[in-house]
Copies of this chain bind each other. A is one copy, B any other.
């Protein structure tokens, strides 16, 4: 955790608060902090060896992006999204990804396309090895490449933001039975559509791909609730 000081010369040329924001976001996304955990500014300040100010700035930005929630005068907590909020976000994500796909089908460069195929190949390898974490990573690359392929920087930025926000939850349901295999098959259809330049199919497949994740998660939550483990 304390591996951050080896960046630049003392004093740091890169804005400290921004670095902290990324660090915290990563920590949350990677599950280092669990949803519902309290993020104590003073503790974080000690941990990252700075004052409360940049911590505060990082936290408010994370709050704005929806990754943490502030309870006024009570503390800041890692966002614990309700099922409704989650489904809503997956709905929007599906639409944005579908849009990325539609645009990418027409605009994607050959380089990006081949990189996409490489990512898909890496996904396949992880799938065959049952390497869930590896798949998780390569899956992120896969989607990121499609965002870039849309050649709409603003869209790509928004998609990345939502992707990051949903990451912790997305990761959960990759462990579902045969989810890796079906996910990879869906990817395959998407790649085919993109290669063919078939915008409608790419859009439809990508939207379905993401929506399915939302539904799968819904199932997961339902089953967890049935087991008496409150997920939220």
Which A residues form the contact surface with B (CB < 8 A)?
13, 15, 57, 60-61, 64-66, 72, 85, 88-89, 91-92, 95-96, 99, 152-155, 158
Contact = CB atoms under 8 A, between A and B. Distances in A.
A155 B60 contact: no
A92 B57 contact: no
A13 B73 CA distance: 10
A9 to B, nearest CB: 15
Copies in the complex: 2
Contacts of A152: 88, 91-92
Given A13-B72, A57-B57, A61-B61, A92 B85 contact: no
Given A61-B60, A61-B64, A91 B155 contact: yes
B64 A155 contact: no
Contacts of A95: 95-96, 99
Which are the 8 A-B pairs with shortest beta-carbon distances?
A: A88-B154, A88-B152, A95-B99, A92-B155, A89-B154, A13-B72, A91-B152, A92-B154
16 contacts: A13-B72, A57-B57, A64-B65, A66-B154, A85-B153, A85-B154, A88-B153, A88-B155, A89-B154, A91-B99, A91-B152, A91-B155, A92-B99, A92-B155, A92-B158, A95-B95
A76 to B, nearest CB: 14
Nearest to A73: B13
A85 B89 CA distance: 24
A68 to B, nearest CB: 14
Contacts of A57: 57, 60
A85 B157 CA distance: 12
Contacts of A66: 154
A97 B65 CA distance: 20
Contacts of A91: 99, 152, 155
Given A88-B152, A89-B154, A92-B158, 6 more contacts: A13-B72, A15-B72, A60-B61, A85-B154, A88-B153, A88-B155
A108 to B, nearest CB: 16
A91 B60 CA distance: 28
A154 B89 CA distance: 6
